[in-house]
């Protein structure tokens, strides 16, 4: 087992889940000195409280009393990571919610243990020896993939530009024996990816499209497309400086696609996986694309540039057109695309869009089940006309301040015709503050829920 979990150890400090129902019986099982100490400390069940119980040779154990009720934190046990001294711990009983609550506690603890230590040494976190009753390998698979993707998002652009993001994708492909190809620079024009080239040509590193395939050709086709804008100045429609501070995270869509791909390949799900990552930097230079420019797309539709800060949908358009040519059975698209999505639903609840009511219900239910929530917004047909161009097939932004996330999704829909089922996720890719299971910084949203959905459809995972 990797460093995410500690191996089983007789020296692990026990953690007991405490609630109003089990506390009377648990009090009888604990040493009298521990119960007396808890009483003297005023410990009572609930409120996400914890208590370190002293013993003759250090810590005897930990009492943890998670909140109950509809507002209880599913990953509340992650609070213990910052509260406990380094060492090895183990959960020795089930919380009130039973087996699922125990799995949530382990997952929350593991996700909370993430530290970004590329530039500054991080303090050592406590380790958890997972209970035998849970599928630790599955949890480890998800947490490892998420940690890798969080690292990508947290790394600033001077070390995570297009070259580095491409290298990370190719490294992951190599680990799992996947095939890959990369189309860079002028080759994008020769191979008909004009929008990717236009957006990224002003960057110091060439724009590119990474194409990774894995699995048997005979298996169901699952395609993942992720926006890889390694930094977004806004282009000639430049962002204010305050809006640029987090733009290293504008490649979180690509990082999310890679995280989900890692989970799928590591689980050996019986699918034909394809990952498409259009990777650019939206920079400012003499050859930057301009407001008012009109470019052809891979699909053939011409696009007038209403705003150079709406670049993500442009590079996705060419990638989606390529993906769609393959007629995938399922296609999932990830992008930090609009501020309007954050205004509507905040940073923790990404909106998603799909033409399939069946898939939409399945996605939303799975998200709630695994505590990776998303919320479906409509592809509202009357708004599609807002994208019609006067001197081009379409414009990349609507002429107005309303429904920005919906019109962006409608723009992407224009480039999808053959995919049997698809969903697009307008993610934030960042935790503004630390919460259990979600440390401040780069975040992966929707990957766990889609891994669970695909594992249910195509294999145990």
Q: Which positions are annotated as active-site residues?
A: 239, 313
What residues pair up with 181 in beta bridges, in sequence order? 211
Burial of 293 (0-12, 13-18, 19+ CB in 10 A): middle
Nearest Cα residue to 18 out of 60, 48, 42, 54: 48
At 40, list the tokens. 């003297």
Q: The tokens of 35 are what?
A: 């119960």
Q: Half-sphere exposure of 425 toward its Cβ, with a 13 Å CA cutoff?
A: 33
C-alpha to C-alpha distance for 448 and 301, rounded to whole angstroms: 35
What DSSP character marks residue 326?
T
Asked if residue 367 lies in contact with residue 373, where contact means CB atoms within 8 angstroms, the answer is yes
**What are the CB-based long-range contacts (under 8 Å, 24+) for 242-251?**
246/430, 247/157, 248/153, 248/154, 248/155, 248/156, 248/157, 248/160, 249/153, 249/336, 249/429, 249/430, 249/442, 250/282, 250/312, 250/336, 251/152, 251/153, 251/160, 251/165, 251/226, 251/227, 251/279
253 Rama class: left (phi>0) / alpha (psi -120 to 50) / beta? alpha
Copy the structure tokens of residue 43: 């410990």
CA distance 297 to 52: 61
**Alpha helices, H only, 268-399:** 312-325, 339-345, 357-369
Q: Residue 325 and residue 54: Cα distance in Å, rounded?
A: 64
Q: Are 376 and 363 in contact (CB under 8 A)?
A: yes
- Write down the residue that tokens 């303090």 correspond to: 123
Helix axes 99-112, 136-154, angle to 10 degrees: 30
Do you know the residue count of the chain? Answer: 461
Cβ neighbours for 204, distance < 8 A, ≥ 6 positions apart: 161, 281, 283
């Amino acid at each position: 087992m990797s460093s995410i979990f500690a191996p089983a150890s007789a020296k692990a400090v026990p953690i007991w889940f405490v609630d109003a129902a089990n506390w009377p019986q648990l009090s009888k099982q604990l040493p009298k000195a521990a119960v007396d100490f808890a009483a003297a400390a005023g410990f009572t069940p609930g409120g996400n409280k914890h208590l370190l119980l002293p013993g003759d040779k250090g810590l005897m154990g930990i009492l943890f009393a998670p909140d109950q009720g509809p507002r209880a934190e599913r990953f509340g046990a992650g609070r213990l990571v910052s509260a406990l001294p380094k060492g090895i711990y183990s959960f020795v009983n089930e919380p009130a919610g039973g087996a699922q609550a125990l799995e949530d506690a382990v997952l929350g603890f593991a996700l909370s243990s993430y530290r970004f230590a590329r530039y500054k040494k991080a303090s050592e976190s406590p380790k958890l020896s997972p209970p035998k009753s849970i599928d630790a390998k599955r949890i480890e698979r998800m947490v490892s993939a998420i940690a890798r993707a969080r690292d990508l998002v947290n790394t600033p652009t001077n070390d995570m530009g297009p070259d580095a993001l491409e290298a990370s994708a190719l490294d992951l492909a190599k680990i799992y024996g996947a095939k890959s190809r990369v189309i860079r620079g002028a080759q994008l024009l020769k191979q008909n990816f004009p929008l990717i080239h236009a957006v990224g040509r002003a960057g110091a590193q060439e724009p590119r499209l990474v194409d990774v395939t894995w699995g048997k050709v005979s298996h169901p086709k699952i395609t993942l497309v992720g926006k890889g804008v390694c930094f977004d100045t806004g282009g000639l429609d430049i962002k204010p400086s305050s809006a640029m501070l987090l733009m290293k995270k504008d490649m979180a869509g690509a990082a999310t696609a890679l995280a989900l791909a890692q989970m799928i390949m590591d689980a050996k799900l019986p699918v034909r996986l394809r990952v498409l990552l259009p990777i650019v930097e939206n920079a400012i230079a003499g050859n930057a694309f301009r407001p008012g420019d009109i470019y052809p797309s891979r699909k053939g539709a011409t696009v007038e540039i209403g705003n150079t800060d709406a670049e993500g949908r442009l590079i996705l358009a060419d990638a989606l057109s390529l993906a769609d040519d393959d007629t995938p059975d399922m296609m999932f698209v990830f992008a930090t695309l609009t501020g309007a999505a954050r205004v509507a639903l905040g940073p923790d609840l990404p909106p998603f869009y799909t033409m399939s009511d069946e898939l939409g219900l399945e996605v939303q239910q799975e998200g709630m089940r695994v505590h990776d929530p998303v919320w479906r917004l409509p592809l509202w047909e009357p708004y599609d006309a807002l994208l019609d161009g006067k001197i081009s097939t379409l414009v990349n932004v609507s002429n107005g301040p309303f429904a920005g996330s919906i019109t962006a999704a409608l723009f992407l829909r224009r480039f999808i015709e053959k995919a049997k089922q698809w969903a697009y996720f307008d993610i934030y890719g960042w935790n503004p503050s630390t919460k259990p299971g979600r440390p401040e910084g780069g975040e992966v949203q929707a990957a766990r829920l889609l891994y669970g959905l695909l594992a249910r459809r195509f294999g145990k995972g």
